[in-house]
Structure 1
Amino acid sequence: MATIKDVARLARVSTSTVSHVLNKTRFVSPEITGRVQQAIDTLNYTPSALARGLKVNQTRTLGMLVSSSSNPFFAEVVQGVEQRCYELGYSLVLCNTQGDRERLGASLDMLQQKRVDGVIVMCTQAKLNDGAFHRHASLPLVLADWGPVDLDADLIKDSGQQGGRLATGHLLGLGHRRIGCITGPAGQRASEERLAGFRAAMAAAGLTVRQEWIVDGGFELAGGKAAMERLLALPGRPTAVFACNDMMAAGALRALADAGLAVPGDISVVGYDNIELARYLVPALTSIEQPKAKLGALAVDTLLARIQDPASPRRLLPLEPSLVIRESSAALAI
């Protein structure tokens, strides 16, 4: 592999001149610049980003921790992060934690060894807190939607309570009063906030929430299917269901199809996240939109601001949810 010394030798200049040409840190005549560029092309020379990063104490590389999940929501946010990194000339190192605290620690060790400039955290571990990060206190952090609320880092929130109220209010507006809720795991902020929004909307309508109509679906396809099967097995079933993410809603639609029930004729379903898949389900899924590309870009911009000003106060940046109405919800048949 060619080195900067090889380029300097072939171009008959000093290594500092090659460095100035590469980094545009000083004027170099067009004739010498041309010789250096020709040497670079001849030798297929690629500057070492790590060496340059060590020199300026910045690698222009960001890390990102996500829970491994079949939920496309994560992939769509990561796509937004990658796009923003590309626009700004940054590289991204992506690590899946598999929901495991030890793996998270190993990933943090690796990211710090690679001298990333900062880390975007998007993990669903319910008991994750400062203790998981105490050995990496020097790493600038941003929590992108999912993460521990007590961690001393900037937090981008999805405003889950507002989204839960929107979803439930939509079903109430369609005349439904017997409404069930398929939730995510207890202890996860996204799950609990969306459930709280559901409860608040029901209370505002003067309705009592039936506890047996609230079922944990684990934020996964199979969990959503199993949760809907449990609801259908009850003596009195709801006429509408709010699923706290689209993957559980998709699983619920499968259970309803297997049971020979029509959506929305027999039962209406609303999801959350508005992942790309939602519009292609049958029927197309009514869902609460989270601006995933915006979330990814905002996470990068917030992290870079934190890197530039580590002492600035912690920021809480809410995202505004919105309702996307499709075919899976309809007025209650009298």
Structure 2
Amino acid sequence: MAKKVKSRGRPSLNARIADVLRERVAAMRPGEPFGTEVALATECGVTRMTARKAVNALVAEGLVERRAGVGLFVREKDAVTRRWRLVAGNFLWDPAIRAASAVRREAAKIGVDVELRDAAGDMDVLIGEIAALPDSGAAGAVVFSLHGSRFDDAIRAVAAKDFPLVVLDECMDSRSHVSCVLSDNALGGRLVAERVFRAGHRNLAFIGDFVADTVRARWEGFCRLAEKQTGAKPVKCDIKGEDRLGDWESEIRTVVARLLRRKSRPTAVFCSCDAIARHAMRAFAEDGLSVPRDVSIVGFDDDPIAEWTTPALTTVRQDFGAMGREAVKALVARIEKPAAPGATVKMPVELVERESLVRNAKRQ
């Protein structure tokens, strides 16, 4: 007959269930089947959600592991004590590499091995990787955003199972029980607005893919301060790119051509990332304009190529190493309290001045 566990008092019910399960693990052999969450819930007379929370605690401690489609097992003695996953939309993107390196180094300091999973820019693959996390045997995961509503829905679905998650480079609703680490994108936009204004630029434009909430934050920070300073909103150019790898060349050519047809042609253009900035520089040059003599360009990210473009790109630097280290702290906190509201950490950014932004010659 199932033994009913009372739910009143302290510690919490799932914590007491976890204590019962720890005693069972201690009496079992490594590799021995431990059952399923459904069976454990029935045996203990609790809901499956309560059983899942208790099992999550044991997984985080390295006592048991989930095997997809099979069930729970006592961890082998030679298995890594604690294991996380880091899932990236695209490891060809340098920021993902920098963040992943920082996550692995920081996690190693606390005895955690981090398994890397790359979706190679394929949203379907990324959704599959995210959906598989609760049964992966990992105690938690850091996921680098590949922006879009499908990504957000997949993250919320996994978080609803109380699987500990931290999302990098995106801000999600705290009620989703997902912690987020990202740059202060609005601050970056304000830094650019302030600098181009001091350089004498009044006709401004912004080019970006507004699918990403990070891009929208950069636009809002830039637009609000620029409008306050100049009395007019910058021209907003949404490239509506479908390629999440960032191959926006044809869209940017169209946008640049449209900007050049304007009666008041912009003298400074803020691009939502360095990749877009490079395409914009090429498009303006092909239309006979000189960067920065005729038009100044500013990017965002400070990827390794930024200082080697001609001219070298002025940009906003994101510290992806620091973001990765902060993500480790955030995931430790989520593993300890998987049902707690999500927390958002915004990292500082800085403007890196190079050659692509100069003073507006008409205002000298």
TM bracket (short chain): 0.7 to 0.9
Q: CA deviation at 1:80?
A: 2.3
2:239 alignment partner AA = D
What is aligned with 1:67? 89
What is aligned with 1:28? none
Q: CA deviation at 1:233?
A: 4.1
Verify: 1:324 aligned to 2:352, yes or no. Answer: yes
What is aligned with 2:331? 303
Q: Matches of 2:306 and 2:319 in 1, distance apart?
A: 14
What is aligned with 1:205? 229
DSSP 3-state at the match of 2:99? helix
Alignment of 1:196-275 (within 5 A): 196-209=220-233, 211=235, 213-216=236-239, 218=241, 219-222=246-249, 223-275=251-303
Q: Matches of 2:257 and 2:173 in 1, distance apart?
A: 33
Q: Matches of 1:309 and 1:152 in 2, distance apart?
A: 10
DSSP 3-state at the match of 1:129? helix
CA distance 1:54–1:228, shift in 2 (3 Å): farther
What is aligned with 1:113? 135
Q: CA deviation at 1:168?
A: 1.6
State the Cα deviation string for residues 102-150 of structure 1 (Å, max 9, x = none).
5344213443333111111222332143565435613101121225446
What is aligned with 2:306? 278
Query: What stretches of structure 2 of length at least 5 have no aligned partner?
Result: 1-29, 31-63, 66-72
Q: Matches of 2:75 and 2:303 in 1, distance apart?
A: 37
**Which of 128, 134, 144 is the aligned partner of 2:157?**
134
What is aligned with 1:144? 168
**Which of 187, 208, 218 is the aligned partner of 1:162?**
187
What is aligned with 2:34? none
Q: CA deviation at 1:320?
A: 0.9
When structure 1 is superposed on structure 2, of 116-125 and 88-97 the one drifting more is 88-97
Q: Matches of 2:345 and 2:357 in 1, distance apart?
A: 31
- Aligned 8 A contact 1:224 1:249 in 2: no
Q: Matches of 2:163 and 2:256 in 1, distance apart?
A: 42
Q: CA deviation at 1:63?
A: 1.3
- Aligned 8 A contact 1:124 1:147 in 2: no
CA distance 1:110–1:99, shift in 2 (3 Å): same
Q: Matches of 2:253 and 2:286 in 1, distance apart?
A: 10
Query: What stretches of structure 1 of length at least 5 have no aligned partner?
Result: 1-18, 20-48
Q: Matches of 1:141 and 1:313 in 2, distance apart?
A: 12
- Aligned 8 A contact 2:171 2:344 in 1: no
**Which of 172, 187, 199 is the aligned partner of 2:197?**
172
When structure 1 is superposed on structure 2, of 86-95 and 259-268 the one drifting more is 86-95
DSSP 3-state at the match of 2:361? coil
**Which of 85, 96, 104 is the aligned partner of 1:82?**
104
Q: CA deviation at 1:158?
A: 1.3
Q: CA deviation at 1:318?
A: 1.3
State the Cα deviation string for residues 197-216 of structure 1 (Å, max 9, x = none).
121112211421254x5342
1:270 alignment partner AA = V
Report the RMSD for the aligned CA atoms in angstroms.
Answer: 3.0
Q: CA deviation at 1:254?
A: 1.4
Q: CA deviation at 1:306?
A: 2.0
CA distance 1:227–1:66, shift in 2 (3 Å): farther
CA distance 1:210–1:325, shift in 2 (3 Å): closer
Q: Matches of 1:52 and 1:286 in 2, distance apart?
A: 54
CA distance 1:254–1:69, shift in 2 (3 Å): farther
- Aligned 8 A contact 2:186 2:220 in 1: yes
When structure 1 is superposed on structure 2, of 276-285 and 101-110 the one drifting more is 101-110
TM-score normalized by structure 1? 0.75
Q: Give identity over the alignment, percent.
A: 26
TM-score normalized by structure 2? 0.69
Q: Matches of 1:100 and 1:221 in 2, distance apart?
A: 16
CA distance 1:161–1:327, shift in 2 (3 Å): same
- Aligned 8 A contact 1:81 1:297 in 2: yes
DSSP 3-state at the match of 1:276? coil
Q: Matches of 2:131 and 2:200 in 1, distance apart?
A: 53
Q: CA deviation at 1:54?
A: 5.8
- Aligned 8 A contact 1:130 1:152 in 2: no
**Which of 296, 314, 317 is the aligned partner of 2:342?**
314
- Aligned 8 A contact 1:68 1:96 in 2: yes
Q: Matches of 1:58 and 1:84 in 2, distance apart?
A: 16
The count of residues paired between Structure 1 and Structure 2 equals 285
